[in-house]
Structure 1
């Protein structure tokens, strides 16, 4: 009886020790999965900047993104890029995702300066600073706006065209996406230069939405109804290159001036196919945007408007 009692006691001690080891193992291993998962932004302790870009189908914005990525790498911060694909609702949804990820700052290149207001205000409510780049937002609180002086650039293009056509002739204007500050400001600068000039007429002023294919089709239609066109000003190079295709097919000799100085446009200028393009330096815009965002995360004061230099590119 006494021996049996001893055996049972030893078995009980063994079970208690084994249970203790199992509990320790659970605490050191599997229990870690119950800890809150840390996400990007402030939660991870590393600075994360969100970049909502209007479209990566345009070489200008691809270069802008690359400038931002390079600056982010040099600064040791994370950059999360979302492509709106020129879709306003997609851009708003992408910005909401950045807010959910708790990024430290959001850089926004609006598809539409009015429609983006709700997204800017959502970031404001989440206490996430907003910086607009290239195109402005028409509402909400924005810490800084980084862009070229589009009004000045439009005027540079208009002044060049007047000189190139000798102050006389019919001019076509291809407009960008309605509602964007870039289209509005470039058009304003252009009209500041050419409106009211004797011998000059705006033969057509139509939107082609910053798109090369639309620039081609719109210019084809314009040429059918206007046989005597001296020059074209397009609000960006993609439309200018599309217009150039239509002009070459027609066999006409027309001065074409674009805006952005993309690689394709600069090549066309150097080959004598396009007359000029206004260089907006997108890589510099992306670089300055990220550097400004980093300053904001450190609590440093930044300017409400930060301009990036322009340059008129003509044949070398």
Structure 2
């Protein structure tokens, strides 16, 4: 694309010289069709000529192209993309999005296609950690910076990310356990509606949850799983799938359980739908922090959630990409923000927009999000070892 821009600029200069040579008294418009007239401008529809007021916006090389590869259709991924795209457009970048449909082969093909397209950087939500490492190796060999969002690649794999912002999945699982233990004792019966297996996200939620409950209840994590968890199965991060799984959980337990930990809020909606016909009021703990769920917590419909917004994750990733392309130093491995939400804290200003991406982008323009990677500490290339959790995936669903 840079080559095309150079050719276009040479044509504009040549045309200007021809006009000047003709000695015409009128000034001829030498702007290109996209509004470029020798000065940089935003590629946003409608344009802007205002100076940057935050480190996420401002004039930039409008030849920058970023390939953005989503693992699947999860709304978390989509909302993160919307914020990244908005920040990129503020800087004159072009962003190309594609989706892997949770297929490892598609992910590898998508990364290879982005490299063939000649993008300057790739942002990837990986289908699973091992595939992410392979994708990173391909990008490394091609000399294309690759940045991971939401989940980390395998730290023992062949590829090395140029940047990463992953969720505090272990920490939020532990946080939910701490909130639950304040209300429920060591004899509690628990249903876990878990995320897609193999990414590490659901496994880390469970690991943090079990280890924290073990500490709270003076047990081992293994004892908590064996003695307290009466059902666990993946809902695939999706509402309908979680609804089906929760119906199965109610049938198999006979409704004899004390609370539910459902690992995202799309699945939470399916769980609520499944519980409604029982006429019972089971406490539900979840993770995400969407605006509607925060209100449900405030209204007492949901016991608690953890606010881990895709909006903040995307802004962190954007700042990493921007620093990398500018040749600046930056922290490579970072964690997204996490804020516990209870009935008492549901109005906290620390709970940032989740679904309302336009509102978040406006806050980013005004430097009101509190996101600045230069003030954030390196989180390390790996999470707590969750490999031992793989054997527990779906273990209590039969």
TM-score after normalising by structure 1:
0.80
* Alpha-carbon distance in structure 1 between the residues aligned to 2:218 and 2:153: 36
* Alpha-carbon distance in structure 1 between the residues aligned to 2:269 and 2:186: 24
Q: Which residue of structure 2 lines up, in the alignment, with residue 17 of structure 1?
A: none
1:202-241, Cα deviation, whole Å (9 max, x unpaired):
1112222111111111111111121321111122112222
List aligned pairs for 1:110-129, cutoff 5 A: 110-129=126-145
SS at match of 2:130: coil
Q: Which residue of structure 2 lines up, in the alignment, with residue 25 of structure 1?
A: none
* Alpha-carbon distance in structure 2 between the residues aligned to 1:96 and 1:267: 42
Task: Give the Å deviation of 1:252.
Answer: 1.9
Greater strand percent: which structure? 1
Residues 1:290 and 2:326 aligned together? no
List aligned pairs for 1:243-258, cutoff 5 A: 243-258=271-286
Gaps of 5+ in 1: 1-43
* Aligned-residue RMSD, C-alpha: 2.0
Q: Of residues 46, 67, 73 in structure 2, which corresponds to 1:50? A: 67
Residues 1:242 and 2:258 aligned together? no
Task: Give the Å deviation of 1:304.
Answer: 2.5
Change (3 A) 1:262 1:90: farther
Gaps of 5+ in 2: 1-60, 347-398
* Contact map agreement 2:62 2:92 (CA 8 A) in 1: no
Structure with bigger gyration radius: 1
Residues 1:156 and 2:175 aligned together? yes
Q: Of residues 155, 165, 174 in structure 2, which corresponds to 1:146? A: 165
Q: Of residues 45, 49, 65 in structure 1, which corresponds to 2:81? A: 65
SS at match of 2:66: strand
Task: Give the Å deviation of 1:72.
Answer: 0.8
**Higher RCO structure (Cα 8 Å, ≥6 apart):** 1
Q: Which residue of structure 2 lines up, in the alignment, with residue 209 of structure 1?
A: 236
Q: Which residue of structure 2 lines up, in the alignment, with residue 259 of structure 1?
A: 287
Task: Give the Å deviation of 1:308.
Answer: 2.1
* Alpha-carbon distance in structure 2 between the residues aligned to 1:267 and 1:198: 34
Residues 1:102 and 2:118 aligned together? yes
Q: Which residue of structure 2 lines up, in the alignment, with residue 13 of structure 1?
A: none
SS at match of 1:50: strand
* Contact map agreement 1:54 1:111 (CA 8 A) in 2: yes
1:93-119, Cα deviation, whole Å (9 max, x unpaired):
222211111111111111211223322
List aligned pairs for 1:76-91, cutoff 5 A: 76-91=92-107
SS at match of 1:155: helix
* Alpha-carbon distance in structure 2 between the residues aligned to 1:165 and 1:293: 44
Task: Give the Å deviation of 1:264.
Answer: 4.0
* Contact map agreement 1:87 1:111 (CA 8 A) in 2: yes
Greater Cα shift, 174-183 or 189-198: 189-198
Task: Give the Å deviation of 1:75.
Answer: 2.5
SS at match of 1:115: helix
Greater Cα shift, 125-134 or 141-150: 141-150
Residues 1:223 and 2:250 aligned together? yes
Residues 1:192 and 2:211 aligned together? yes
Greater Cα shift, 125-134 or 68-77: 68-77
Task: Give the Å deviation of 1:166.
Answer: 4.6
Task: Give the Å deviation of 1:262.
Answer: 2.5
* Contact map agreement 1:131 1:293 (CA 8 A) in 2: yes
Q: Which residue of structure 2 lines up, in the alignment, with residue 276 of structure 1?
A: 304
* Alpha-carbon distance in structure 2 between the residues aligned to 1:263 and 1:111: 26
